[in-house]
Amino acid sequence: MRVNVSSHDLKASDHKHHLHPFTDHGALGIDERRVISRADGVWLWDTDGNRMLDGMAGLWCVNVGHGRQEVVDAVRAQMSELSYYNTFFKTTHPPVIELSEMLAGIAPDNINMVMYTGSGSEANDTILRLVRTYWALQGQPSKKVVISRKNAYHGSTMAGASLGGMGAMHSQGGLPIPDIHHIAQPYWFGEGMKTDMSEDEFGLWAARELERAIEEIGEENVAAFIAEPIQGAGGVIVPPATYWPEVKRILESRDILFIADEVICGFGRTGEWFGSTYYELKPDLMAIAKGLTSGYLPMGGVLVSDQIAEVLHREGVEFFHGYTYAGHPACCAAAIANINIMKREGLVERVRDHIGPYFKSRWMTLEDHPLVGQARMVGMFGALELVPDENDLSKRFDNVGKVGTITRDHSFANGLVMRAVADSLIISPPLTITEEEVDHLIATARKTLDVAWDDIRKQGLA
Ligand SMILES: *Cc1c(COP(=O)(O)O)cnc(C)c1O
């Protein structure tokens, strides 16, 4: 790596040569970008000498915190022993065997097989092909449609972005691909409040949208329903309490598969190993990534139920699908070390019983701020809905997203990484965060809200 390059020169070079994901490059000034050069625990440092609290755990992934030497050592040792071999053509290797057994151990009882990918998007691509292949092998090739939800996030590949329900993503590249159907999301603050339903009624209504879609499309044409137990990128949308029990009831009476996208909810984020456990759901397939390796190396996977695995194990059946780096030995080593840390330090139980409830109790105090219409949190992720008038929660800011971005920028300037989704702020820190660091996070968030509220009023936005 180059040394003694000034922070500005790094940014200028980045500006010149690096196309960033999800970025408006025309609006991104050269010196506006941050060059993150080091991280430890929940802390990040940039090349301008600023220290920031990583309230997003990277991109929802660094569950065990940054800079864990144990993961680095495990990867180094694996790289020396066997840095790459594939898992096609009757071959396998020790780390992929160990990780698969480990994942079967923490997955729900009816799930004992794993197919590996390089990312969450690839996991969902794999799943889309897999569910259609499963039904074809069952003699029901007409069952092809996958029902998903608006404002869901399932990745950025053709299948991932199509399964996702982000309008902006569908507007580019000719998406969604055929046979994917989007129903309403269970977003009470954003969608339910403008109806005349109570939150519980709205949860039932949103769940029954699934039933109505199945009726309309015909059960004989529906392969699966895919959902994040809690929508992450959509804005940490925690469904009304009535939603999942009603969806469960509908799924039980229908012959369709249920796919849980656990890419964010998995690996302790909700205070259980998986979001499906938190809501007592019984998925047939689970997409995993992010917290699987805590982001130390890129890896995703599909957890497959016994019922589906049995069909794939029939003689003469071959799923013509696979990625060169599936089950990469170094990524397996990172995942094993990561899960070992989570188990040894009891991180899942810590989120459920200790730091999660503590964080939530402090986070909810922000609801009294005049800029905040609602604070919500499950486990270790949450959101603040920003509103112009705390006494009339039906009102929203004009020019959606502007206030969210202003507030997010103040948060960065104050040394706290939060993310803006429209006019909400979301948070998802490492599961290792201490009480003291939570206190610091909350104090910085409050200061941010104060500064942003002044700024917003000065600009005449509220
Ligand atoms: C991030 C994410 C994905 C995509 O994972 P990548 O590794 O970015 O491809 C899929 N689903 C959910 C719920 C996600 O949050």
Both 227 and 361 in a single domain?
A: no
| Mean pLDDT of all residues belonging to the chain | 97
How far is the C-alpha of 232 from the C-alpha of 424, rounded, in Å? 12
Mean pLDDT of 449-462: 96
Note whether residue 12 is domain-resident. no
Both 128 and 226 in a single domain?
A: yes
Percent of the chain with pLDDT over 90: 99
Nearest residue CA, atom 5 of ligand 1? Answer: 120
Give the residue from 312, 344, 376 where a domain finishes. 344
> Which domain does 362 fall in, by range?
34-64+348-458
Inform me whether the pLDDT recorded for 253 exceeds 80.
yes
The encoded tokens of residue 359 equal 């964080």
Nearest residue CA, atom 6 of ligand 1? Answer: 120
Nearest residue CA, atom 14 of ligand 1? Answer: 263
In terms of Cα–Cα distance, which of 330, 295, 299 is closest to 73?
330
Both 56 and 144 in a single domain?
A: no
Both 236 and 285 in a single domain?
A: yes
Q: Is the dihedral of CA 122, 124, 126, 128 positive or negative?
A: negative
Inform me whether the pLDDT recorded for 3 exceeds 70.
no
Both 74 and 223 in a single domain?
A: yes
Note whether residue 123 is domain-resident. yes
| Centroid of ligand 1 to alpha carbon of 155 (angstroms) | 5
> How does residue 367 score in pLDDT terms, banded at 50, 70 and 90?
very high
Both 92 and 171 in a single domain?
A: yes
How far is the C-alpha of 296 from the C-alpha of 75, rounded, in Å? 9
Q: Structural domain tally of the chain?
A: 2
Note whether residue 218 is domain-resident. yes
Q: What is the CATH number of the domain that holds 295?
A: 3.40.640.10
CA 25 to chain centroid, in Å, comes to 24
| Centroid of ligand 1 to alpha carbon of 426 (angstroms) | 16
Give the residue from 306, 322, 344 where a domain finishes. 344
Quick one: pLDDT at residue 1?
Answer: 60
Q: Is 412 exposed, middle or buried (0-12, 13-18, 19+ CB in 10 A)?
A: middle
pTM of the model: 0.98
Q: What is the CATH number of the domain that holds 414?
A: 3.90.1150.10
Both 368 and 340 in a single domain?
A: no
Quick one: pLDDT at residue 414?
Answer: 98
Q: Which of 127, 264, 292, 323 to mutate to test the pocket of ligand 1 (most atoms within 8 A of CB)?
A: 264
Both 274 and 404 in a single domain?
A: no
Inform me whether the pLDDT recorded for 332 exceeds 90.
yes
The encoded tokens of residue 108 equal 């729900």
Note whether residue 6 is domain-resident. no
Note whether residue 309 is domain-resident. yes
Both 40 and 76 in a single domain?
A: no
- Specify the ligand 1 atom closest to the Cα of 59: 1
Mean pLDDT of 300-313: 98
Note whether residue 23 is domain-resident. no
Both 245 and 113 in a single domain?
A: yes
- Specify the ligand 1 atom closest to the Cα of 119: 7
Give the residue from 344, 379, 413 where a domain finishes. 344
List helix spans (H) across 107-232: 120-137, 158-163, 167-170, 199-217
Inform me whether the pLDDT recorded for 117 exceeds 70.
yes
Inform me whether the pLDDT recorded for 2 exceeds 70.
no
Note whether residue 111 is domain-resident. yes
Mean pLDDT of 257-280: 98
Both 178 and 319 in a single domain?
A: yes
The pocket around ligand 1, CB under 6 angstroms, is made up of 119-121, 124, 153-155, 228, 232-233, 261, 263-264, 289, 300
Q: Kindly report, residue by residue over 36-90, the tens digit of the pLDDT.
A: 999 999 999 999 999 999 999 999 999 999 999 999 999 999 999 999 999 999 9
Inform me whether the pLDDT recorded for 163 exceeds 80.
yes
Note whether residue 11 is domain-resident. no
Quick one: pLDDT at residue 434?
Answer: 98
Both 368 and 334 in a single domain?
A: no
Provide the β-strand partners of residue 300.
117
Q: Which of 61, 121, 292 to mutate to test the pocket of ligand 1 (most atoms within 8 A of CB)?
A: 121
- Specify the ligand 1 atom closest to the Cα of 261: 13
Q: Kindly report, residue by residue over 184-233, the tens digit of the pLDDT.
A: 999 999 999 999 999 999 999 999 999 999 999 999 999 999 999 999 99
